[in-house]
Structure 1
């Protein structure tokens, strides 16, 4: 069952086919840039298309002349009340009211499938998100990337993609050695020693249970032992404990990954060497001198020959080393191999990164382009940090974490759904303030409340109708007037919005749309405050009430469908 916008895209294609058959258009023109969408000004009509503007130049014809021929074809469609030429070649369509009533029935018929798309066509997308270093609990910086990544994964699934949710465990770098040393201190503490945590180690109390477990398992065996005897063991056990904590933190947000990929295992399996071999075979890695640092050159700097990736060939400003002078892999070299591994099981890749990694985007995009021959779509979405406030004042840090507010603390205070929705109320690359007071405020300025309030109001209508003795065995949608059908027009945009958001990799568009849909619903509801005959439940007119309840139920369905993508549960009542 197609939705209204998809159906009119088909109508437009049939009209274009007819112009090709009549010789008014050449065959084989690219129709991909053609859109069927709401006009910017609703006074201009219900739908608008740029078809004549897109096709005129490749067809070597005048846009208005082509538009006139299209208007003639589109005017003959039963659902079209009028088709008008506007400006240099745009076409505005007005539909008969029954088209919108039919879409309302479509929403009911498709239920929780309304808005689902086959656009993804089973394409496999690997989304790597969170990937926080396994050195402590999740904080609110991690939280935003986690929600954005998870909502994007659900959005792409809703749009027909097969999605792999992946977490990259950075367990091979120097930071996990620091973790192991910090755990060793807590191990000694658990055995009764008084400790002082030096600068550079992790001070958080979350490592106390790790130290206690190590003490219970090994006694005092490693208290005075040389670091080489215990570092690897403590590193492995501390990372495992941190990952268990991270999984529990993410579960509080309803987030579960399909794959946890280990950097240490990647390197042990020789993946970086394999990637380097492949790149050398394709003349994309060579041995060369690294350029001197820009600005004032350090006195101890010496030119060293290193294996360099030809990232300038793909738009980077300089070629990048994949190994250090001591033979260890650079972070970029290991990351390059990791993306090579991901590309073997997915058609498209998406990374959700903190904005502090913006400087490395160009080089990793270049690497993926090289490794996949440019065939794998790869997007890096940058997520800005979150500033925590309480009534406008910065929130104090958490003692347990050592130097930050934990995700668990925030979720436990305001709830999973509030956190998830709020994280999607701004574009990912925009700065965000999370104010504990505002995110639970019952006002129009709080999108979390405002959309949920719309759903709760809709749920209340069934109770009100029952109290009025109204049962809806049948529905006469002809009772819905232009004001009510305007709400259907907003609702009907949901499927095309899903596809647009999936294509752009922007799950926040769902939150924005739901806010606008809720605003339209509340506006229609509020008309009834002054005009009793405009209320959704009119006790003395059961057929009208049933038609309006049918409309309200459809809006509630779309809110639930949007919430499902966002990982939020719709409420039936608000207290």
Structure 2
């Protein structure tokens, strides 16, 4: 049930009647008519922009349309009042029964309340993390992992068929560096002094890899030329790093559906096939690019190269796909990889990149638009940096990783639930501060605690109700006399519950899971406000001594809050707590 959608249907029906009766021209497009919460809650429960968006095509004054629409809407029993404001906005106040009905619906539907068929089963590929398999995941990967996983859950909740995918960057020079670094740890395991020269990976995490190599090869690779061991050690070390990454993700509660290897694209004709498709669209040519202003990118050459005509799809310049010596640029396998996604039948692609990939967005979107001939949209979400603090000071180092704080460091200190929720307290493209002390603070200023505390309070009410002999299963509560919930503070909570289905669809349309975290904080705030009002006004307390009927109605309200909090936390990948300690 989406009350906002229901009221929009009512508004559109009334507009259609006005057209039929001659109060509006026929043939108007009502697609941009919206019903949403007003900016100021004092103005009403809902507002519609109908008069504003129809005034120009109808060649009428917005106020004239709004006045007539208000009269129509006032005849519906769900509408208590319809008032015109300003140049033509229409504010609606709903009967209390509509808000009370939301509580019943939330309890009857359970965790399905708010689920949507927006996606209509469309196949979506969400590629996220995709860290180089050269070491443990760092805190920047943590934010991307949480965002991508929560987005996938949000889209699933909104009716999409979602695949979580990790692209293993195991085809570039970085895995050769990994092999050389692992070889030094292998030498160390054999009693030699490791030579961790500049450019190699210095972290202690490779020490167990070196020991495992010794167990497999003994001393047979010592003093052998690199050509004898590079490929074997590269494959061994890459597999070890990917196992570490899987464990890191598991500690955060993230499980991928697909791990796709970049290396599998080489020597299989897949890169050639993708570029051949672009060539068939007359988008591949030989040419020399003008030198860019400022710092030269690594894929620029002052020689003739094979170029992709990405400017035809909105990019700033055309992009090299093959160097003058015949080697592929790093962009070429990425084109091929995304072509596999198109061929696998996905209706929509989402890539979650680090902030340092901002310059890659236009070219990748151009490639997918060209490959799919505009059929498959690609949305790229950039994840901004995380700044870590502890005891009020920047927190930067991890001995195990060598140069950075790892995902495991964060999870071990504050837990997966706290980590996940806090990583979604800012929009993905905004920097985020992560203070190890503040994320564990038990105060209103800590959204993780504030939301969990609301759920714990509900659970406390339910336990006390059971002790008092009340029946508080969801079916019984859904049948309570909810007309007893008439106080404005109670209706405010119900109004916030009513926003949940609408919020899910908006967040899913924009691929913004942080909206769920924001909403949960607002819902918790409304609930805590009601709870605190009960300290002064005993009639607002959830348990009314000697009055089981009223108690059940009020407990139903509390339980509905818990249902929605649990659903929202489920999307974020956070376990709701039943008791705060």
TM bucket normalised to smaller: over 0.9
1:478 counterpart = 2:483: yes
The CA deviation at 1:396 is: 4.6
Return the offset for 1:365.
Answer: 1.5
Counterparts of 2:562 and 2:429 in 1: how far apart (Å)?
30
Aligned: 1:173 with 2:172: yes
Partners of 1:229 and 1:493 in 2: CA distance: 63
Residue from 504, 511, 518 that aligns with 1:505 = 511
Superposed displacement of residue 491, structure 1: 1.0
1:287-302 matches, cutoff 5 A = 287-295=286-294
**Cα-to-partner distance string for 1:254-273 (whole Å, 9 max, x where unaligned):** 10111111111022322221
- The CA deviation at 1:295 is 4.7
Q: After superposition, what is the alpha-carbon deviation per residue over 1:106-144, rounded to whole angstroms, capped at 9, x for unaligned?
A: 111111001100011111111100000000011111000
Counterpart contact for 2:289–2:301, Cα < 8 Å: no
Residues 1:458 and 2:458 aligned together = yes
Mean Cα deviation higher: 33-42 or 15-24: 15-24
How far did 1:208 drift?
Answer: 1.5
Q: 1:23 to 1:221 in 2, by over 3 A?
A: farther
Change (3 A) 1:58 1:267: farther
Deviation at 1:326, TM superposition (A): 2.2
Structure 2 Cα separation of the partners of residues 196 and 12 of structure 1: 74
Change (3 A) 1:180 1:437: same
User: Which residue of structure 2 aligns with residue 129 of structure 1?
Assistant: 128
Is 1:118 matched up with 2:117?
yes
Map residues 41-440 of structure 1 onto 2, 5 A cutoff. 41-295=40-294, 303-344=302-343, 345-440=345-440
After superposition, the C-alpha distances for 1:26-63 in whole angstroms (9 at most, x for unaligned) are 55544332211111111211111112222332334332
User: Which of these residues, 549, 554, 558, is aligned with residue 552 of structure 1?
Assistant: 558
Which one of 487, 494, 507 corresponds to residue 500 of structure 2? 494
Q: Is the 8 A contact 1:187 1:214 kept in 2?
A: yes
Using the TM superposition, give the Cα deviation of residue 384 of structure 1 relative to its aligned residue in structure 2, in angstroms. Answer: 1.0
- 1:144-179: per-residue Cα shift (whole Å, max 9, x none)? 000000000000111111111110000010100000
SS of aligned partner of 2:124: strand
Within 2, Cα distance between the matches of 1:129 and 1:216?
A: 34
Calculate the TM-score normalised by the size of structure 1. Answer: 0.96
List gaps (5 residues or longer) in structure 1. Answer: none
Greater alpha carbon shift after TM alignment, 351-360 vs 140-149: 351-360
- Match of residue 40 from structure 1: 39
3-state SS of the aligned residue for 1:502? helix
8 Å contact from structure 1 (residues 391, 438) kept in 2: no
- Distance in 2, matches of 1:397 and 1:351, equals 29
Q: Which residue of structure 2 lines up, in the alignment, with residue 447 of structure 1?
A: 447
Please state if 1:570 is matched with 2:581: no
SS of the counterpart of 2:275?
A: helix
Shift in Å at residue 21 of structure 1?
Answer: 3.4
Q: Is 2:526 the partner of 1:529?
A: no
State whether residues 134 and 170 of structure 1, in contact with CA within 8 Å, keep that contact through their aligned partners in structure 2: yes
Say which SS state the counterpart of residue 132 (structure 2) adopts.
coil
Contact 1:168 1:261 in 2 (8 A): yes
Whole-Å separation in 2 of the counterparts to 1:373 and 1:228: 44
Any idea what SS the aligned residue of 2:57 has? coil
Whole-Å Cα distance in 1 between the matches of residues 116 and 46 of structure 2?
A: 20
Taking structure 1 as reference, are residues 61 and 373 closer, same or farther at Cα in structure 2, changes over 3 Å only? farther
CA separation of 1:99 and 1:175: change in aligned 2, threshold 3 A:
same
Aligned residues: 572
Distance 2:567 2:331 in 1: 40
Of stretches 551-560 and 201-210 in structure 1, the one that deviates more from structure 2 is 201-210
Q: Indicate conservation of the 8 Å contact 1:186/1:210, yes or no.
A: yes
Distance 1:286 1:26 in 2: 53
Q: Within 1, Cα distance between the matches of 2:534 and 2:484?
A: 16
Distance 2:17 2:319 in 1: 54
CA contact (8 A) 1:131 1:167 kept: yes
| Mapped contact 1:470–1:539 kept (Cα < 8 A) | no
Question: Using a 3 Å threshold, how does the CA distance of structure 1 residues 435 and 262 change in structure 2: closer, same or farther?
Answer: same
Contact 1:3–1:106, Cα closer than 8 Å, also in 2:
no
Cα deviation code 1:412-465 (max 9, x no counterpart): 221110000010011111111111111111111110001000000010002222
C-alpha distance in 2, partners of 1:302/1:277?
22
Tell me if the contact between 2:135 and 2:205 (Cα under 8 Å) persists in the aligned partners: yes
